[in-house]
């Protein structure tokens, strides 16, 4: 009743365990009829290779870890799926950790990944874990940063030019005739947020519009959007913005919901633009304009960079792939003139 192992297979097939391994891994040629006997034995015994033993011997696993900030955000699950697709082609699989933007959870998963000797790691870091990542790499698990290139030229990375993204968003709002722009978003410690804001602010300045009003919050979740919208509605009419740039689509959804339920017309009274271009924003009852980040492609590319490092260890040729952000115009900013 105990699970069969290679020894059992070898005995049944009348060969040595080494031969079984060669069949399993195609590491050395095996005569066709011998291979068939082995495969038959595997089939008959229902043998499933014990990955722990394999891994112990080889020193590395066939799974790759990915750590995301928020599994509830479709942007991150799309990245994960892109990565999964690329890895599947090489017979590797993905194990997903969700830090939830909490540093202690991030550390817990790093421990896990390190104990597992993962083949590599894709990560959007939360806390100050760079030295930890260096160690992981020095122990044979290369690391690729996703959507966060910052102070880390020493790791390969994929990211989107958030400065340009912020500029695109603000530029578009100005283009459709808006003059009083507000930014609603997460903490500026998050590099992406800071850059999106800076891009927007610079654009507003350069085009001589009124200064950007900034509402800063602690997280990037939708409830932030609702609170932000309420703060905007509390302003005197002359102060009230006629356009909102939300740091991501989750926030934009919150803003939209709060505004419409307060009777504000979108986009006639206030236009809204988000960031990420997630499915639910595109399909909101008033579809939300957004700055698209090619999530799946980013995930795929990150996985490919990682695979390169996995397959050529020691090659310190770190690459940084930047994707251009893309403006997607939808009803939440289009089809209406500036309010009078």
Binding site for DNA (CB under 7 A): 2-3, 5-7, 10, 14-22, 24-25, 27-31, 34-35, 47, 49-50, 53-54, 56-59
At 199, list the tokens: 């891009």
Spell out the residues 6+ positions from residue 104 whose beta carbon is closer than 8 angstroms to its own: none
Give 282 or 327: the residue with its C-beta nearer to a second copy: 282
Residue 116 binds a second copy (CB under 8 A): yes
Q: Please identify, among the stretches 197-205, 232-240, 283-291, 304-312, the one whose residues bind a second copy according to the rule CB under 8 A.
A: 283-291
Query: What's the per-residue H, E or C state across 119-185?
Result: CEEEECCCCCCHHHHHHHHHCCCCEEEECCCCCCCCCEEEEECHHHHHHHHHHHHHHCCCCCEEEEE
Residue 204 binds a second copy (CB under 8 A): no
CA neighbor of 141 nearest in space, from 321, 305, 309, 315 = 309
| Among DNA, a second copy, none, residue 20 binds (CB under 5-8 Å by kind) | DNA
Q: How far apart are CB 163 and a second copy at their closest, in Å?
A: 29
- Distance of alpha carbon 296 from alpha carbon 97, whole angstroms: 17
Q: How many residues does the chain have?
A: 340
CB 154 within 8 A of CB 318: yes
At 285, list the tokens: 């009852």
For 78, list phi and psi in degrees, rounded to 5: -70, -40
User: What's the Rg (C-alpha) of the chain?
Assistant: 26
Residue 298 binds a second copy (CB under 8 A): no
- State the virtual CA torsion across 92, 97, 98, 102 in degrees, nearest 10: -140
| Among a second copy, DNA, none, residue 154 binds (CB under 5-8 Å by kind) | none
> Looking at 11, 257, 321, 336, which residue binds a second copy (CB under 8 A)?
257
With contacts defined by CB under 8 A, how many residues of the chain interact with a second copy?
Answer: 50
Residue 7 binds a second copy (CB under 8 A): no
Give 25 or 50: the residue with its C-beta nearer to a second copy: 50
CB 326: neighbour CB atoms within 10 A?
A: 14
Q: Please identify, among the stretches 36-44, 163-171, 192-200, 282-290, the one whose residues bind a second copy according to the rule CB under 8 A.
A: 282-290
- Interaction pattern, residues 73-112, with a second copy; x per rule: CB under 8 A: -x--xx-xx--x---x----x-xx-x---------xx-xx
At 224, list the tokens: 């932030």
Give 15 or 252: the residue with its C-beta nearer to a second copy: 252
Bridge partners (DSSP) of residue 159 are 322
CB 1: neighbour CB atoms within 10 A?
A: 2
| Among DNA, a second copy, none, residue 72 binds (CB under 5-8 Å by kind) | a second copy
Give 8 or 269: the residue with its C-beta nearer to DNA: 8
Binding interface with a second copy (CB under 8 A): 1, 3, 46, 48-53, 55-56, 61, 63, 71-72, 74, 77-78, 80-81, 84, 88, 93, 95-96, 98, 108-109, 111-112, 114-117, 135, 138-139, 222, 253-254, 256-257, 260, 279-280, 283-287
């Amino acid at each position: 009743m105990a699970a069969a192992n290679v020894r059992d297979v070898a005995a049944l097939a009348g060969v040595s365990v080494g031969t079984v391994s060669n069949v399993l891994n195609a590491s050395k040629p095996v005569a066709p009829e011998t291979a068939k006997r082995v495969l038959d034995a595997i089939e008959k015994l229902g043998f499933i290779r014990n990955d722990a033993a394999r891994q112990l011997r080889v020193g590395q696993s066939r799974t790759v870890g990915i750590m995301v900030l928020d599994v509830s955000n479709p942007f991150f699950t799309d990245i994960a799926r892109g990565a999964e697709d690329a890895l599947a082609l090489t017979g590797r699989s993905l194990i997903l950790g969700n830090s939830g933007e909490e540093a202690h959870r991030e550390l817990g998963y790093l421990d896990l990944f390190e104990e597992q000797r993962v083949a590599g790691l894709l990560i959007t870091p939360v806390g100050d874990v760079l030295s930890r990542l260096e160690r992981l790499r020095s122990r044979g698990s290369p690391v690729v940063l996703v959507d966060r290139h910052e102070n880390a030229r020493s790791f390969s990375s994929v990211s989107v030019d958030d400065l340009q993204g912020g500029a695109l968003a603000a530029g578009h709002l100005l283009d459709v005739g808006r003059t009083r722009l507000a930014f609603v978003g997460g903490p500026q410690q998050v590099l992406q947020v800071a850059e999106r804001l800076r891009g927007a602010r610079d654009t507003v300045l350069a085009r001589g519009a009124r200064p950007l009003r900034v509402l800063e919050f602690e997280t990037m979740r939708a409830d932030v959007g609702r609170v932000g919208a309420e703060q905007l509605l509390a302003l005197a009419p002359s102060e009230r913005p006629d356009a909102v740039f939300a740091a991501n689509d989750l926030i934009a959804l919150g803003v939209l919901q709060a505004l419409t339920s307060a009777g504000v017309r979108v986009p006639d009274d206030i236009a809204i633009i988000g960031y990420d271009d997630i499915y639910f924003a595109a399909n909101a009852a008033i579809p939300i304009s957004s700055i698209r980040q090619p999530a799946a492609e980013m995930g795929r590319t990150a996985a490919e960079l990682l695979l390169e490092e996995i397959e050529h260890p020691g090659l310190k040729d770190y690459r940084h792939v930047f994707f251009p952000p893309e403006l997607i115009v939808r009803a939440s900013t289009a089809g209406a003139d500036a309010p009078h």
